[in-house]
Structure 1
Amino acid sequence: MSHQTDPPTSNERVEAQYEEYLMPIWKNLNVPIKRASGCTVEDFEGNEYLDVFSGISVTNAGHNNEAVVDAAKEQLDEFVHGCTYVHPNQPAAELGEKLAEVTPGDLQKTFFCNSGTEAVEGAIKLARKYTGSKEVLALEMSFHGRTLGSLALTGNKSYKSEMAPTINDVSHVAPPYAYRCQMCDGGPCSCACAEDVEHVIDTHTADDLAAVVVEPVMGEGGIIVPPEGWLSRVKEIAHDHGALLIVDEVQAGYGRTGELWASDHFDVVPDIMPQAKGIANGLPLGAFTASAEVADAFEAGDHLSTFGGNPVACAAALATIEELENGIIDNAREQGAWLHEQLAELEREYDVVGDARGLGLMQGIELVDPQETGRMDVAPAPDPKLAKAVGKQLREDGIVIGVGGFHKNVMRFQPPLTISRDQLERAVEALGAAIEAHREDSGA
């Protein structure tokens, strides 16, 4: 009897399988990956790409980091699953203790889950249980996940269309978006967007506020860095109203900004801190950490996760933190400072680069049409067409970069934090060349 042989795996075959068997959740698939190492990925045809997006800010310690892989393999040889919340295991216990050591201030107790979305949802549940209140404030242009609860917090209708988020007690406030700020009238930043929190509480809530949820750097919003004093003022306003400050470090945490936590740049201790993405360098794990007082509001049965705190993922997370602390965060700080200057130079050189911004290796440039004015004459109109063309050109040149932001016009640099200066120079030179090649397409 003859046996049918499957065709060899290829880029085309994997993409066809995605089309046939996976739900269509992403419009523009990127490079199919067969293997990856450090800051490079390789497809099924042997083509290598420099990755400056790291799976949406996940492989912070570098693709296939040897220490992380070894830690996961060692735990695999012991056992894979026993449910962390039924059978205590050493990797989860040690990771909880490590997070108490490295998270800001008095944050001490952690709940482990599987993703950033779950971490945010769990943080909201904890805030409601602790405060006895129900309402939540989040930022316009924010992103906190795609399940129905976290989606209600997300301040972007493009993610919500036809989804009807189920948390009704959510209001949104102005983001700390200096480039397109409509509150400071083009003058020096007055942190008026922070005061908008007070305004929205007064006008949109029923005085039953449980939490204010913010990203310390807004990733999906377009690498938006708040002004000095903004985060501390938001925390002060939240506490004045008996609410907690939840700082969503899912994308900005684990060394991404040149500090272990983006909150550290602003000297603010969150009341609850969701984490994920870079926590285990690619293995599925999420967490939220709170002070003992806040955490102990949870009682047995209030919250649970079957796979949360999986021992293999926790072992990888412990190795990831050790790797980050052993020089990788220092590299992110050093290379990020250099990258920031290079992107600022592109802003000075090209009128289609409206703004360059970021912290550490979480950097972005906003592409604009200088011939068109945006809303309320604040800044030139966003140019998502140019951003898409530049991203496509970079892929053809062997570089994977993020293209996103609220207006889909931000080129996002979020590479593995192990990236070298030579690799960054290659990416920046290619970016400049792509802008030069395609800026005429935008009418500039």
Structure 2
Amino acid sequence: MKRITRLLNGSKQPKSSKRNIKNSCTPLAVPLMPSTNIEPSLYKGPDYLTLQKIKEKHIVPCIQQYYKSPILIHEGKMQWLFDHKGKRYLDMFGGIVTVSVGHCHPKVNEEAKKQIDKLWHTTNIYMHPNLYEYADRLTSTLPGNLKVVYFLNSGSEANDLALLLARVYTKNYDIISFRNAYHGASPYVMGATGLSMWRFEIPLALGIHHAMNPDVYKGLWGGKYCRDSPVQTTRDCDCTNGYCQAADNYYGQLEEVFKYSLPRGKVAGIIAESIQGVGGVIQFPKGFLKKAFELVRSNGGICIIDEVQTGFGRTGEYFWGFEGHGVVPDIVTMAKGIGNGYPLSAVVTTPEIAELLGHALHFNTFGGNPIATAVGHTVLKIIKEEKLQENSEKIGTYLLLELSKLREEFDIVGDVRGKGLMIGVELVADETTKQPLPAKHFVDIWEDCKEMGVLFGRGGFNANVIRIKPPMCITKEDADFALVVLKRALQNHYNNHKPL
């Protein structure tokens, strides 16, 4: 498949390639979607063109839909979505990593309906059993002294509150985040987000410092022993199975931030994702985050882990992504999968840190809503009863290992990474320089997958990473279908762009 790389770069085709071009170009059978007994209801809403006109007239232009012809989603059941014409799609993105136990899971629906018939809303100025029962159940999943919870509605709100708590508790102001990080779009946390396309030209990052991102695929250091993943990079490095030199090197860069950018080295806190999500499923080298936390705490700061995308068993081996780093944070933020699509988020911290919120009035009208907490509690029960964490590890590992084989067939597949059902496939124009695959070519592949019935996400700084984060209920049969579709789309792309 060297041909496709050379073609995209406008270079001549080399005389030989380490890969078998003939075998890579063998036509694949038309992918057959796994069978299901689910039948969508008949769509009776406004027609497609009418809705498009309403969107153009009344919806803010920043709301951009996926695909050249956006899908009008009508119904969802577990891992499946149906458009207004009844066409079925395998959802491999889970509503942006939000549908954890399955679209319209019958047990979640049942509990939500029960609560709707009893009580919609009181606010937490009154006592309600759902709030307290759920708080007890949720905090029992966390280690150490992480025992106090504040419920909110979104990940941005949760991270916003976490930064406030860090500054109030430590009486320091400066926060460390990472380049390529995403922590939300509210004005406060937009400053912590290290992706320029998510930032407006207004003062945002006051007191926030973006450290070098420890990316072992594209960064300065990293190689084949660095990631906590079934799949490693193809880079060589000086690391060994028991020691990661890349972690030490990136830690040295973090020390430089303390040395040159912080007032007398003092810091309010650090915020980090267990695995960077929007940034393209970037995993820190093994041991790095533990050293980073020790450095922050030794300089008066506290440690915040953003589990908005990685929590609730998605990474498979652990219920919380941070457990894979061998750390216990001072604050954990969570959203998305916590409510399986229902607006719900939470900040969990220690009693000592939580006590500081009582120094001024602080209130969230919808935090701890009876319906939201009923849904959240049910999601926790389903994850345990249906062994979805175990399924994430089993199916996720299978997917990662199978996806890694695509690197041997297609030069444009530069990297495969992740853990559990938190997976990224980075497409490149050049496997040596890691130059991103041009947007037109990426979109061709992405759209082709959609036409064959699989919906993948898209991310990374250059939007060249296929994000695979489906509902955790997917089966091996579903995984095989997604694999065949992606391989077919890559095959089609090569056949459409090969030299004459």
Equivalent runs, 1:334-345 vs 2, <5 Å: 334-345=394-405
The residue number in structure 1 matching 2:364 is 305
Query: What per-residue deviation string (whole Å, max 9, x for no partner) do you get for residues 32-55 of structure 1?
Result: 211100111111111111110010
The answer on whether the counterparts of 1:122 and 1:303 sit within 8 Å (CA) in structure 2 is no
Separation in 1, partners of 2:389, 2:311: 11
The residue number in structure 1 matching 2:24 is none
Judging changes above 3 Å, is the alpha-carbon distance between structure 1 residues 101 and 165 closer, same or farther for their aligned structure 2 residues? farther
The answer on whether the counterparts of 2:181 and 2:279 sit within 8 Å (CA) in structure 1 is yes
The residue number in structure 2 matching 1:232 is 290
The residue number in structure 1 matching 2:30 is none
Query: What per-residue deviation string (whole Å, max 9, x for no partner) do you get for residues 387-418 of structure 1?
Result: 22211111111111101111100011100000
The residue number in structure 2 matching 1:39 is 79
Q: In structure 2, which of residues 99, 102, 105 is the aligned counterpart of residue 65 of structure 1?
A: 105
Equivalent runs, 1:293-442 vs 2, <5 Å: 293-299=352-358, 301-326=360-385, 327-370=387-430, 374=433, 379-439=434-494
Separation in 1, partners of 2:404, 2:90: 22
Give the TM-score of the pair, scaled to structure 1: 0.93
The answer on whether the counterparts of 2:98 and 2:337 sit within 8 Å (CA) in structure 1 is yes
Q: Is 1:132 aligned with 2:171?
A: yes
Q: In structure 1, which of residues 284, 300, 309 is the aligned counterpart of residue 343 of structure 2?
A: 284
**Greater Cα offset, 171-180 or 10-19:** 10-19
The residue number in structure 1 matching 2:262 is 205
Separation in 2, partners of 1:443, 1:117: 44
Query: What per-residue deviation string (whole Å, max 9, x for no partner) do you get for residues 230-277 of structure 1?
Result: 121111111111101100001111121113211122221111001000
The residue number in structure 2 matching 1:117 is 156
The answer on whether the counterparts of 1:10 and 1:45 sit within 8 Å (CA) in structure 2 is no
Separation in 1, partners of 2:485, 2:85: 22
Separation in 1, partners of 2:127, 2:497: 58
Q: In structure 2, which of residues 309, 324, 331 is the aligned counterpart of residue 272 of structure 1?
A: 331
Judging changes above 3 Å, is the alpha-carbon distance between structure 1 residues 18 and 241 closer, same or farther for their aligned structure 2 residues? same
Tell me how far 1:102 sits from its aligned partner.
Answer: 0.4
SS at match of 2:356: coil
The residue number in structure 1 matching 2:184 is 145
Tell me how far 1:9 sits from its aligned partner.
Answer: 2.2
The answer on whether the counterparts of 2:280 and 2:460 sit within 8 Å (CA) in structure 1 is yes
What are the ranges of 5 or more consecutive residues in structure 1 without an aligned counterpart?
1-6
Letter in 1 for 2:95: G
SS at match of 1:296: helix
Judging changes above 3 Å, is the alpha-carbon distance between structure 1 residues 116 and 441 closer, same or farther for their aligned structure 2 residues? farther
Instruction: Name the larger-Rg structure.
Output: 2
Separation in 1, partners of 2:493, 2:200: 31
Judging changes above 3 Å, is the alpha-carbon distance between structure 1 residues 442 and 202 closer, same or farther for their aligned structure 2 residues? farther
SS at match of 2:270: strand
Separation in 1, partners of 2:290, 2:119: 44
Query: What per-residue deviation string (whole Å, max 9, x for no partner) do you get for residues 115-173 of structure 1?
Result: 000000000111111111111010000000011111000001111143x2434100001
Q: In structure 1, which of residues 41, 45, 49 is the aligned counterpart of residue 89 of structure 2?
A: 49
Letter in 2 for 1:222: G
The residue number in structure 1 matching 2:212 is 174
SS at match of 1:34: strand
Tell me how far 1:60 sits from its aligned partner.
Answer: 0.7
Task: List, as ranges, runs of 4+ consecutive aligned residues in structure 1 with deviation greater than 6 Å.
Answer: 440-444
SS at match of 2:368: coil
The residue number in structure 2 matching 1:256 is 314
Judging changes above 3 Å, is the alpha-carbon distance between structure 1 residues 440 and 209 closer, same or farther for their aligned structure 2 residues? farther
Give the TM-score of the pair, scaled to structure 2: 0.83
Letter in 1 for 2:217: Y
Q: In structure 1, which of residues 8, 23, 42 is the aligned counterpart of residue 60 of structure 2?
A: 23
Judging changes above 3 Å, is the alpha-carbon distance between structure 1 residues 442 and 257 closer, same or farther for their aligned structure 2 residues? farther
Separation in 1, partners of 2:458, 2:193: 19
**Greater Cα offset, 420-429 or 96-105:** 96-105
The answer on whether the counterparts of 1:209 and 1:242 sit within 8 Å (CA) in structure 2 is yes
**Greater Cα offset, 265-274 or 141-150:** 265-274
Equivalenced residue count is 431
What are the ranges of 5 or more consecutive residues in structure 2 without an aligned counterpart?
1-43, 224-235
Judging changes above 3 Å, is the alpha-carbon distance between structure 1 residues 131 and 8 closer, same or farther for their aligned structure 2 residues? closer
Letter in 2 for 1:343: L
SS at match of 2:304: strand
Separation in 2, partners of 1:14, 1:329: 38
Query: What per-residue deviation string (whole Å, max 9, x for no partner) do you get for residues 52-98 of structure 1?
Result: 001001111000011111111111111111112x1121111112111
Separation in 2, partners of 1:440, 1:67: 46
SS at match of 2:268: strand
Separation in 2, partners of 1:65, 1:128: 39
Letter in 2 for 1:170: I
Separation in 2, partners of 1:249, 1:442: 40
Letter in 2 for 1:391: W
Letter in 2 for 1:269: V
Separation in 1, partners of 2:319, 2:494: 37
Letter in 1 for 2:50: R
Separation in 1, partners of 2:93, 2:412: 22
Judging changes above 3 Å, is the alpha-carbon distance between structure 1 residues 27 and 102 closer, same or farther for their aligned structure 2 residues? same
Separation in 2, partners of 1:131, 1:369: 46
User: What is the root-mean-square deviation of aligned Cα atoms in Å?
Assistant: 1.9
Separation in 2, partners of 1:281, 1:14: 26
The answer on whether the counterparts of 2:215 and 2:222 sit within 8 Å (CA) in structure 1 is no
The answer on whether the counterparts of 2:412 and 2:437 sit within 8 Å (CA) in structure 1 is no
Query: What per-residue deviation string (whole Å, max 9, x for no partner) do you get for residues 327-380 of structure 1?
Result: 111111110010010111111221110000000001111000027x64xxxx34
